Structure 1
Amino acid sequence: MGKKGTPLGIDIGGSGIKGAPVDLKGGKLATSRLKIATPQPATPEAVADVVDQIVDHFAAQTRDAPIGVTVPAVVIHGTVLSAANIDPSWVDTDAQALIKKHTGREVTVVNDADAAGVAEVHYGAAKGVPGLVLLTTLGTGIGSALIMDGVLVPNSELGHLEMDGHDAEKVAASSIKDKEELSWEEYIERLQRYYSMVERLFSPDLIVVGGGISKEADLFLPHLRLRAPIVPAALRNSAGIVGAARLAADLARHA
């Protein structure tokens, strides 16, 4: 990690691209975040241009420090391999190389749920929990992260497990509750089946639930019957930014 600058986290979402320098000791944004609307179509070049704007905006604070960037997709060694919730033109794009070319900075690109999971383990609802932590984000789809004793197992994609003959996120994401106008009772029944399936497969020590619906956790989490404790995420909208910066800094330190 650069000695002078503060690591920068950038979270690429469907509607907005958000970034801020991150205080890695406190696990919080070091200054107010900058949010720019996601370009449409959200092609790699168009998005990289916006990322460059955010990097330039925080140049004085971040200087030579590493940059972490999240995308809603499978990412292996910086290359995007899926496009369930992102423009199809991203598939097989070396996002790490592309953003490095645009910004001139060292960049780490990670899955958005993985970044959120890392943030929750180090600073949030899963801090100090030994063993296997599973984070899920309930939103447009279902994102997931698996962290074992603080080490990320990337690209778990548990929203794509089969449930009722469909991807689980097509049955149990919070967007489906809204789309199908499900009552809480009906939605809780779907979540029960989803989390029971995931628990049978992975036997986590703790399940953390993020996404916008986690603000209403009291309405559904206490009704789920699982072996593992299931709790709401703590970092909310800053989790992706914080986790991306943490991962980028860790990789830079070990490079």
Structure 2
Amino acid sequence: MRYSSLSDFISKGRQALAKGPVALVMAEDEVELDSTIRHNLDAGFKAVVVFAMPHFTLAGDIVERVHRIDYATSDESALERAVNAVISAAGPIWIYYCYNAEYLFYPFCESRTVSEMLAFNTEERRDTILTYVIDLYAGDLGQHPGAVSLEDAHLDKSGYYALSRKDRWNNDLDRQMDFYGGLRWRFEEHIPKPRRRIDRVSLFRNKPGLELLPGHLFNDPEYNTYSCPWHHNLTAAVCSFRTAKALKRNPGSTFDIETFRWHNSVPFEWHSQQLLDLGLMEPGQWF
């Protein structure tokens, strides 16, 4: 189903938000857009909503399986406006959001659906799942100058760290941390400071009054926490080519980067076990 605008979707397509979990895909360009959508469909999302420029094309095998909204995805705050419109229109469902060329991995995702994971998280009285955005990049930029290749994907196996998140008075916020690493850390001179964090609450349960703020934070502080007070919770990873793609597309950085590979680069195996072994997500109490 295709909609001419966000308001058209809210008016005519709200039924897509009746039952979750729902995946929202913000298509900044057409790079690996189809594979991103297929990945979300395979994960078991009840509906996939795609925000895309009118001239973007989708593969024939998925065009009838998604709700496609013509949307100016390059506008400032386009993501927040889209997600908040869905928040206002939907009931208490689970929502996931990502960009194109980003792939959600969670513990045991090869054998369990996203609905199973969210059911477990709900039983733990958690309304969010913290995700770490793990940078992917092509190992050979000569072969893949756009830095995107599913077959030659690499990631950093180390170099990740966290700092306590502060309030306006420089006090530590309860169970909130800013996470860093990957390309945003190694090439931080090319990344504006507000965009260097790799933490994102990509999966959340909707509720009245909820709002997504700039910087991938919510207006409810509890939604920005990494775990509940009594034990560690399940976390997930969003494996993303977005930063690599931007660094090679930006004239200010592309000529400074001959390769993204370094001594801590390893091929990405496209399997949750690798991410668990590297400590880039954890199952919590879910086994």
More helix by share: 1
TM-score in terms of structure 2 length:
0.27
- TM, length-normalised to structure 1: 0.30
